[in-house]
Structure 1
Amino acid sequence: MKSLNRLLPLLSLACLLAACSDSGPTEAQKKEAADEVSAIDLPEKTLETLFDVEEGFTLLSLKDFEVFNAKSKEPVEGKNWSETDGVLSCKGTPRGYLYSHESFGNCTIRLEYRFPESAEKNENPNTGFLFFITGENRIWPKCLEVQGKFAEMAHIKSNSKEIQLEVTDNEAAREKARRPIGEWNTIEVVCKDGALTSVLNGTQIATSKPSELKSGFFGIQSEGDAVEFRNIRVQKLTD
């Protein structure tokens, strides 16, 4: 019955469009059709398949990454990383990160992520996005990081003492753009000749000047908090 209920708005929409196919839909009919679509209670899997990847971008999934975990003295129950219906989930333990099979230089990476509402017990849940991972895997590798930590969302920093980085950051813009725990935030990072620019929910937050790192693997951190990611995609830029 639930499946039928979900289909009813679609059937209604099809009938409406068929009725006005001869002369073309009026503006009022277009609005009615749009309202019908927005009212449909689609299952999560269907919602995920509705995402259209922008031209020139490639969608990444869990199969496009390898897992690196820190050694832990505590037993770990189940897998830390999993993927269901296009949503990549991280339990947060053990600490570690995913790193891409492919190395990237000049590129744009876009994704959405959220800390589930259960993360509210931690006022500043943590994750991060690693760029230009170079050398051996360790906690933490030689790379640059765009922060996913709630209080520092989209801040750019060096994740290694070996790399000094000059960064410009707009805290006021972050406070205005950031969405609360439980909601999806969008991150875009443009990498150009070693310089990074981060954008949070459509607002530019930070920039960094080039360092010695200009290419490497892309990573996503596990740092003790449950977090979810979706629509991770990359566009390679021409030099």
Structure 2
Amino acid sequence: MPPAPAAIASEPAQDDDGFTPLVEGTDPSQFDLVGINTETITISEDGEIALSGNPHGYFATKESFEDYVLQFEFMYERPDDLRNDALFPGNSGLLIHIQGEPKVWPKCVEVQLKNSDVGRLLGVAGGTIQSERPGQAISQSRAEAIQPVGQWNRMEVTCQGGRVTAVLNDILIDEGAGADPQSGPIGFQSEGRPIRFRNLRIKPIE
């Protein structure tokens, strides 16, 4: 009997709804690590990613993306002495369409994950986007949508043709047009506080 063929690495399997997981296994080297290292990021067997918060930096996909729906959940660790969630200084961000040399603040468009400002769109290091929602509307939507510190929040970000929308727990927070860049890797920030991410999934828009 001939020997069995060697196992061949396959592409990540799609879920039934067309989304593909962004996390495969527990090795941090599946991502580009910028400003952080393998001592400050851990990935569990179920794909949950924990960042220590220090030093500042991010992990990013090695692949570039353009026109897609991205879904993920995030949660800050709740300090034992926290009495007022509004005063919690947790900070992070989703960096989309990263361009240029790897550095802590790359050219990109950011979806804020800062606890007091979740969902707001802004440009970083020369990246640009024009928000189409008034600041008061963003604040009101965020207050309605956000979960208490220490609980999971679900984010969905849609990018298509320079338009970006950010939806938190099924509530629209911000939307904008004229995004520059419009394609690139996707990064998740480590910025001062322990934070966890899970269920990172992406689906291309044809």
TM-score by length of 1: 0.70
CA contact (8 A) 1:119 1:125 kept: no
Larger-gyration structure (1/2): 1
Query: What runs of 5+ residues in structure 1 fail to find an aligned partner?
Result: 1-51, 71-75
Percentage of identical aligned residues: 30
Partner SS, residue 180 of structure 2: coil
* Residue 103 (1) aligns with residue 64 (2): yes
1:120 and 1:165 map into 2 onto residues whose CA distance is 37
Write the deviation string for residues 24-55 of structure 1: whole angstroms up to 9, x where unpaired: xxxxxxxxxxxxxxxxxxxxxxxxxxxx9452
How much does 1:63 deviate? 5.2
TM-score by length of 2: 0.81
1:200 and 1:232 map into 2 onto residues whose CA distance is 14
CA contact (8 A) 1:198 1:205 kept: yes
How much does 1:66 deviate? 1.3
In the superposition, relative to structure 1, how do residues 101 and 181 fare at CA in structure 2: closer, same or farther (>3 Å)? same
Q: Say which structure, 1 or 2, has more relative contact order (CA 8 Å, 6+ apart).
A: 2
- Residue in 2 that maps onto 1:40: none
- Residue in 1 that maps onto 2:32: 66
CA root-mean-square deviation: 2.0
1:128 and 1:60 map into 2 onto residues whose CA distance is 17
CA contact (8 A) 1:130 1:145 kept: yes
Structure showing the higher helix proportion among its residues: 1
Q: May I ask how many residue pairs the two structures share in their alignment?
A: 180
Give the partner amino acid of 1:126. Answer: N
Give the partner amino acid of 1:57. Answer: F
How much does 1:164 deviate? 3.5
Q: 1:138 is matched with which residue: 103, 118, 132? A: 103
